[in-house]
Amino acid sequence: MGTYVVTGSASGIGAATASRLREDGHRVIGVDRNPADVTIDLSTMAGRSAALEQIVALAPDGLAGVVPCAGIGGFTDTDPADVVSLNYFGAVELCCALRPLLAGPAAVVLLSSNSVTCQPGWAREVADLCLAGDEPKTREAAAAHDAVHVYPATKAALAWWARREGVKPAWIGAGIRVNAVAPGLVDTAMTKQLRGDPRLGQFADAYPSAIDRPGRPEEVAEAITFLLSERARLIVGTTLTVDGGTEAMLFPTGT
């Protein structure tokens, strides 16, 4: 049994993942802005530094994995710069800072989204800047777009980061597998917030689903815990789409 860090652990997919890991006998260090083992805001550099300090103290024997689920949606009243800072930099910078604690075999699973392939018109330049690693410049670029077009950019950057970095010696060479999952519409508090959005709510259920319903957080958690496990030891740098068939229905011959 190992110790895992799960951010965004107080609700949604993060809470379901933490619960699933605990059911399997693992120890989970939850990180969230709401009450958790580490109660902190990962959208700031100071918050990430404080989170690292607390996690190190709570995990003297190292970590078996990290699942950065903390994130915010691209809603009408959301600051697009904050979407960048929490969704991308809050995930990637914490993973990189925790890498010395990940004693292989270990795993990282990032939370991407099927909005990367299913939502048109998102801000590709923001994704590119995320990967370049300059947070102030990326925040500045994001501010020129609506948050709805920045959200998929951050999720694309996470998937691309997993693909780019996962095959490098610093990660897989140290026995640390890096992958991502890309959920579709999932029945969480974020989805309820989307349905209540004055501009975007009409699009909440616009995409088709082969299973005729939104996903459930625990269904995404099953995919995440599989990728964390040694059963997935051949899967490296990959993004697994977990969306009830939405992407397949929209793009039957590929995206």
Q: What is the mean pLDDT of residues 37-59?
A: 98
Q: Which residues contact 170 (CB under 8 A, 6 or more apart)?
A: 99
b/e sequence 71-84, b meaning 16+ C-beta within 10 Å: bbbbbeebebbbbb
Distance CA 198, CA 187 (A): 19
Q: At what angle do helices 90-98 and 45-58 cross, to 10 degrees?
A: 40
The answer to whether 88 is a known catalytic residue is no
The per-residue pLDDT for range 70-124, each reduced to its tens digit, is 999 998 999 999 999 999 999 999 999 999 999 889 999 999 999 999 999 999 9
**CA distances from residue 4 to 25, 90, 130, 166, 175 in whole angstroms, order as listed:** 11, 17, 25, 18, 16
- What rounded mean pLDDT belongs to the chain? 96
Alpha carbon 83 to chain centroid, angstroms: 12
Q: At what angle do helices 135-142 and 124-132 cross, to 10 degrees?
A: 170
- With a pLDDT cut of 90, the percent of the chain lying above it is 89
- Considering 4, 88, 151, 207, which one is annotated as catalytic? 151
Domain spans in the chain, listed from the N-terminal domain onward = 3-250
- As given in the structure block, the two tokens for residue 50 are 């404080």
Q: Which residues contact 95 (CB under 8 A, 6 or more apart)?
A: 66, 68, 108, 110, 178
Distance CA 26, CA 3 (A): 6
- For the domain spanning 3-250, the CATH number is 3.40.50.720
Tokens 């990959």 locate to 238
**Strand, coil or helix: 204:** coil
Query: How close are the terminal C-alpha atoms of the chain, in Å?
Result: 38
Secondary structure percentages of the chain, helix, strand, coil, to 5: 50, 15, 35
Q: Count of H helices and E strands in the chain?
A: 11, 7
| Res 247: pLDDT | 96
- As given in the structure block, the two tokens for residue 172 are 């897989």
The per-residue pLDDT for range 228-239, each reduced to its tens digit, is 999 999 999 999
- As given in the structure block, the two tokens for residue 225 are 């815990």
Distance CA 57, CA 64 (A): 15
Q: Between β-strands 63-68 and 239-242, what pairing exists: parallel, antiparallel or unpaired?
A: unpaired
| Res 197: pLDDT | 77
Instruction: Inform me whether the pLDDT recorded for 216 exceeds 90.
Output: yes
CB 172 within 8 A of CB 178: yes
Tokens 């699933």 locate to 20
What residue type is 147 in one-letter code? A
For residue 111, list its beta bridge partners.
181
